[in-house]
Structures are given as C-alpha cells and as structure tokens.
Amino acid sequence: MIWQLDLLILLMVVICAIATITIRDLLGAAIVFGAYSFLLCLLWAEMGAVDVAFTEATVGAGISTILFIAAIFRTTRRSKD
Amino acid sequence: MESMLGVVVAKYNYWLYVVLMMIGFYAMIGKRNLVKKLLGMNIFQTAIILFFVSMGAKRGGGIPILDKEAALAGAVKVAEVVNPLPHVLMLTAIVVSVSVTGVALAVLQRIYKEYGTLEEDEILDKIGRS
C-alpha cells in the first residue's frame, strides 16, 4: 500500500463524486459515475483486495453503467438540478 | 494535542470516506431528480464498502493468496497478508447494490411512463400533493 498513490486516487474519487451529482446532463452524470467506479476498482487493487477489485470492475463499472445508460435512453436526459 | 493531529493525519482515508458518504447523502436528500438520487445512493453504498475493505488493509501486507506448499509446511504468517474477511463480506454488498440499482431503474421507467417526468416536484404536482 503506497500512501501517495492511495491519497491521489482518493482525491480523484472525491472529485468524480462531486462531478457526478453536479452535472445537469444525466447521460454525462452516468458516464462520470462509470469513471468513479473504475477509480474505486483501482483503489481496491492497490489495497490488496483483488477479488473486490475485479468484481467492481465488471459489475460496478460495467453492468451498472450500462443499466444507467439504457434507462436514461428509455426515459429522458433532462435534469433540473 | 500533537498526537491528536497525528491520529487525524494517519487515518486520512477514513475522513475522505466520510466526505464521500456525505456527498451521497446530500444527493439523496437535496436533489430533485430521481436518477440523481439513485446515483447518490450508489455513492453512499460504495463509501461504506470502501470503509470496510480499508479496515482489513495492513501496511506492507500482500494479497491474500497463499502458496500451497508453504502453507502446508508451516504456519501462515498473518502479518504478511491483508485480512480477507471484509473482502468476502463486501463482495456480497457490491452484488446487492447492483441488483438494487437494476430494480430501481425499472421502477423509474414505470414512473416515467405514468407521469412523463423524472422530477420529484413535477410528479408531486401531477398527483396533487405539492
């Protein structure tokens, strides 16, 4: 566990989380959320939790993002806040 | 007082998890769009999963995969591998969070078909309870 790398990825995770809830376009928010999930996967691989890391990469960053994008295309991209 | 500061700095990751959790909580309460609320719930869940996994991490610990010959020959040195128990518990939590997301998105599509909007205040207007 390298603490410089840990702190760098954690700060990027926090920035991605703030961006996810501030972007008004829902499709953009879903894509930034995918980037957030993949950064979490990097964080877990760096902590030594490789099984959690690859589950998050496939299920969290992959399937979850696809579900969000599919639902947004079937409903609307518009968001007021 | 100096040792207090040392404790705060040494556990910097816990403070950032609290920040992440509160970002998710704010999105669940403060945002009006239902998809934004769902994204906030996902951020909340991943912050808690991060907290649990980081409790099992050790300084200088390797990944919890043991060499079979070495493990059979002698005792396993637990100080050299990270604790795998939180990993197994949180693996279940990740799968549960994705299934919750799927069901919630299905409900959102049904709401959109019924009311034509995903904004909470517009839906409340349409059902006459604003």
**Domain positions in chain B:** 2-59+75-126
How many domains does chain A contain in total? 1
- What residues of chain B, 69 to 88, have a C-beta less than 8 Å from chain A? 81-82, 86-88
- CB contact under 8 Å between B62 and A48, yes or no, is yes
Which ipTM was obtained for this model? 0.93
Mean pLDDT of A38-50: 91
**Is the residue at A79 inside a domain?**
no
pLDDT per position as a tens digit, B111-129: 999 999 999 999 999 988 7
Mean pLDDT of A5-30: 93
Kindly list the distances between the CA atom of residue B116 and the CA atoms of B3, B49, B108, in Å, as whole numbers in the listed order.
57, 35, 11
Instruction: Let me know: does A18 contact A75? Beta carbons within 8 Å.
Output: no
Would you call A1 exposed, middle or buried from its count of C-beta atoms within 10 A (0-12, 13-18, 19+)? Answer: middle
- What residues of chain A, 15 to 54, have a C-beta less than 8 Å from chain B? 17-18, 20-21, 26, 29-30, 33, 36-37, 40, 43-44, 47-52
Interface membership of A8 toward B (CB under 8 Å): no
Q: Extract the tokens encoding A58.
A: 């496939």
- DSSP-based three-state secondary structure for B32: coil
pLDDT per position as a tens digit, B16-64: 999 999 999 999 999 999 999 999 999 999 999 999 999 888 887 788 8
- We find that the CATH architecture of domain B2-59+75-126 is Orthogonal Bundle (1.10)
Mean pLDDT of A7-20: 93
Cβ-based contacts of A72 with chain B (< 8 Å): 35
Closest residue in A to B63 (Cα–Cα)? A48
Kind and range of the H or E run holding B128? none
Domain that holds residue A49: 3-74
Mean pLDDT of A21-28: 93
Q: Extract the tokens encoding B24.
A: 């998710």
Note the pTM of the prediction, 2 decimals: 0.90
Separation of alpha carbons B94 and B97, rounded Å:
5
What residues are paired with B62 via a beta bridge?
A: B81
pLDDT band (50, 70, 90) for residue A65: very high
Indicate whether B130 pLDDT > 70. Answer: no
Instruction: Let me know: does A72 contact A24? Beta carbons within 8 Å.
Output: no
